[in-house]
């Protein structure tokens, strides 16, 4: 199946206390390391975000850990 990232909601955990640029809950908790953060141009990105998550669905095992730890509710399972 795989994971979808809602780019309107995902900001790479930049508004979570203690999270610095380049760190996010989903990246830290993914057991197969299939999630990365991509830098955005805040002038062009929704809500001025600086980064967002990208999931490599070819490596994803559908464990849903990322969905459980996403405080923005930006991750969901793809429908088949």
Residue 33 lies in a domain: yes
Q: Which of the pair, 58 or 21, is modelled with greater confidence?
A: 58
- Span 16-56, pLDDT tens digits: 888 888 899 999 999 999 999 999 998 988 888 999 999 99
Residue 79 lies in a domain: no
Please give the pLDDT value at position 68: 97
Q: How many CB atoms lie within 10 A of CB 74?
A: 21
On the CB side of 66, CA atoms within 13 Å amount to 32
pLDDT at 58 over 90: yes
Residue 54 sits in which domain range? 3-74
Please give the pLDDT value at position 20: 85
Name the pLDDT band for 80 (thresholds 50, 70, 90): low
Q: Is 30 exposed, middle or buried (0-12, 13-18, 19+ CB in 10 A)?
A: buried
Q: How far apart, in Å, do the first and last CA atoms of the chain sit?
A: 6
Burial profile 40-57: b = 16 or more Cβ within 10 angstroms, e = fewer: beeeeeeeebebbbebee
Residue 35 lies in a domain: yes
């Amino acid at each position: 199946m795989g994971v979808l990232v809602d780019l309107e909601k995902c900001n790479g955990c930049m508004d979570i206390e203690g999270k610095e640029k380049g760190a996010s809950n989903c990246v830290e908790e993914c057991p197969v390391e299939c999630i990365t953060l991509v830098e955005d141009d805040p002038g062009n990105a929704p809500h001025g975000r600086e980064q967002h998550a990208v999931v490599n669905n070819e490596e994803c095992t559908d464990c849903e850990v990322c969905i459980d730890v996403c405080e923005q509710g930006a991750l969901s399972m793809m429908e088949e």
